Amino acid sequence: MEKEKNKKTSSLNVLSIAGLKPYKKKIDEKYMNEDQMLHFYKILETWKNQLQDEINHTLLYIQDKATNFPDPIDRATQEEEFSLELRNRDRSRKLIKKIEVTLKKINEKDFGYCDSCGIEIGIRRLEARPTANLCIDCKTLAEIREKQMTG
């Protein structure tokens, strides 16, 4: 069940769910023009709605499957399953918040540029991870720093 849900929320699958194809940049097209902004807005809105549907589905699933098993092993198995589902939904809620921040950036015409150095993040990177706020170079440096800090 969880594997199937994870497939639903991948950004490339969101493209197809939204009825969108990867953006084809035209020659001499300005970066993050209205067409590109609309493209990413649709991707993010669809992704957000999909995640929200999954959260709602999980709550219904837990309510439907909640049984007071007399056997402690069965009860523990069910509690572990519910715990895993709730952790995944918590991740989904955090992702929804990140999507909402990104949608706000689109509305403010401040989307698609690296928060650290200000250069273009790039259409392909944004299609792979629409909530990306760092270019690939800055993200790589941030990951290296994080590794050094954690040892």
β-bridge partners, 120: 113
Tell me how far apart the alpha carbons of residues 92 and 85 are, in angstroms, rounded to a whole number: 10
* 91 annotated ligand-binding residue: no
Please give the structure tokens belonging to residue 148. 């050094």
* 83 annotated ligand-binding residue: no
Burial of 48 (0-12, 13-18, 19+ CB in 10 A): buried
* 114 annotated ligand-binding residue: yes
Q: Which residues of 15-150 form beta strands (DSSP E)?
A: none
Which positions make up the binding site? 114, 117, 135, 138
Residues that constitute the known binding site for Zn(2+): 114, 117, 135, 138
